Structure 1
């Protein structure tokens, strides 16, 4: 994630005052891919954040994932620490305690704890390998794998629509995602009230440094998105929806046509908050540079080429205390 100190606001972003909702039904059932693609393209340019409804993910599965999430974070600290992300080596999966990650370290400390996992791999390499899982609750791993697979399916739908929105074949972007880096994260934001320190908020202002994020948030709220004028706009929970945002990789590929928008979490509700974001990137060795369709004489390429995996790992080093040590 890129901190507020390195922000890049795309020229097409607007002074939006609310987050739009996109109906995915015609995309999921295959009846009108182009209609949904046009809507997604427009909100990616103007806002970079949107809700999706009629996405095809059973609410029952989402509920089971929340129950498992609360169970995990209620474990004794010593048990969670046995699964610390530092024990996963380059795979970078596992438990991150409070203040173990800070996305805007010059301004805030992140008052949250998290747990990351992905698709199980036997071979260990950066972002790939086995998951660290609690041993006393076998259902946890089963639910986690089922939820991750569902998010992958939804992400594939969204990526096809994004390709079409750019005037490209629907499988164009997917060619860079044959074995993409994915992170399924569980988040717990401890209770804070209105008197909480401004230096310790749920998560500091940042843009996601990947390609696409699919977020489920509970009923507590606290997500805020910053518009072009610098105002923080609330993105409250909406029943039956996910919040989608594009990250820095998408902004690079589209040469700033799509907006990787600053956002943060401020949980001053006095309640525990849980959320479940899924991050989908590109293949580790995928080259990230502005697409030809987004470059012209009037709008030359704004970015030099870089490799997805190396870029992402460098951002983790910036944010994770154990990697800095």
Structure 2
């Protein structure tokens, strides 16, 4: 019988405050266990000020409160992964090669910002992976969002160091493939005005998917909707604990560990209360490593058997995922993740 599904809580303060090696070793061991058994973690002691998360929430509120026509002014080409994504313009399940019930059916709306080539002096970008940001003209959007972006990036790098320790890998190995990382912050809004959606339908706030990169740091409302696929083959509701950020692994983590740490399948199924969808917001910071980095299985992971994945660059991997979510082109290179979803969906 599978163990009960529990998202473990891990206190990052020994890493954030640079405590001694013994205390950090305990944290690394706790993270390793969580990564093997669940793939989602509640992290506390992360050091992100409440004022910064409050500012992020306010910036999101100001932007998403506008009418759709105003927000559509900030739509960017899909390949750039920047700017505004309107409702029902994506289907995340295509990133796994799985057909959704209805094409481009995910009803969330989002705004993306990310690291641009200006953030990495001396590095010459050769693709859309480091596209410039477009900043909406709502009051103080840019400073409030960039303040949170900086904090989330710091937490992601703390986690990366802790994960290296947990895997017994030199931290410099990961640092070398993330010195010009494709970091993206996606701010999501799941509420739509009344009358725009059939409340009797099987609502898909965000289809089942895995994240593309190494690690995701998620700020979210304490509202039900996020569901995680457990090892028991069923979906479990997850929401952040008081003061916690949610952390989950992405595809790069799965590939480098040969699925010892699995990229966590998750989705959003919004709660309907008294005939209306309860509002839910989230902001996912994706730490996706360098565009030109080759994702390869760690030698220690290969000692346990053959590699499940062929080497691929981060840019190639992300592009295949984006073609799925944004263009409706099923991803042909996600066979292992697709099998996990189809086993659950029947």
TM-score by length of 2: 0.83
**Residue 224 of structure 1 contacts residue 235 of structure 1 at CA under 8 Å; is this kept in 2?**
yes
Shift, 1:107, TM fit: 2.4
Select which of 265, 283, 287 maps to 1:276.
Answer: 283
Q: Deviations over 1:65-122 (max 9, x none)?
A: 0011011111121221111022xx7432000000111112512421110000013445
Counterparts of 2:28 and 2:15 in 1: how far apart (Å)?
8
1:222-237 alignment runs, 5 A limit: 222-237=225-240
Shift, 1:205, TM fit: 1.2
1:28-177 alignment runs, 5 A limit: 28-31=16-19, 32-86=23-77, 90-105=79-94, 106-108=99-101, 109-122=105-118, 125-137=127-139, 139-177=140-178
Match of 1:252 in 2: 255
Q: Alignment partner of 1:143: what SS?
A: helix
Match of 2:185 in 1: 184
Q: Alignment partner of 2:128: what SS?
A: coil
Aligned-CA RMSD value = 2.1
**Residue 224 of structure 2 contacts residue 239 of structure 2 at CA under 8 Å; is this kept in 1?**
yes
Shift, 1:172, TM fit: 2.4
**Residue 119 of structure 1 contacts residue 145 of structure 1 at CA under 8 Å; is this kept in 2?**
no
Shift, 1:125, TM fit: 2.9
Determine whether 1:26 maps to 2:14: yes
Which stretch of structure 1 is more off in the superposition, 161-170 or 105-114? 105-114
**Residue 224 of structure 1 contacts residue 263 of structure 1 at CA under 8 Å; is this kept in 2?**
yes
Q: How many residues align?
A: 306
Match of 2:316 in 1: 310
**Residue 110 of structure 1 contacts residue 203 of structure 1 at CA under 8 Å; is this kept in 2?**
yes
Select which of 197, 201, 204 maps to 1:197.
Answer: 201
Q: Alignment partner of 1:172: what SS?
A: helix
Q: Alignment partner of 1:85: what SS?
A: coil
Determine whether 1:299 maps to 2:327: no
| Shift in alpha-carbon separation, 1:194–1:236, aligned structure 2, 3 A | farther
**Residue 254 of structure 1 contacts residue 290 of structure 1 at CA under 8 Å; is this kept in 2?**
yes
Q: Alignment partner of 2:216: what SS?
A: strand
Match of 2:214 in 1: 211
| Shift in alpha-carbon separation, 1:124–1:304, aligned structure 2, 3 A | closer
Shift, 1:29, TM fit: 0.9
Q: Deviations over 1:175-233 (max 9, x none)?
A: 110100011011000159995422x3111111112111011111222111111221111
Q: Alignment partner of 2:239: what SS?
A: coil
Q: Alignment partner of 2:30: what SS?
A: helix
Q: Deviations over 1:216-261 (max 9, x none)?
A: 1112221111112211111123110011000111100011110112
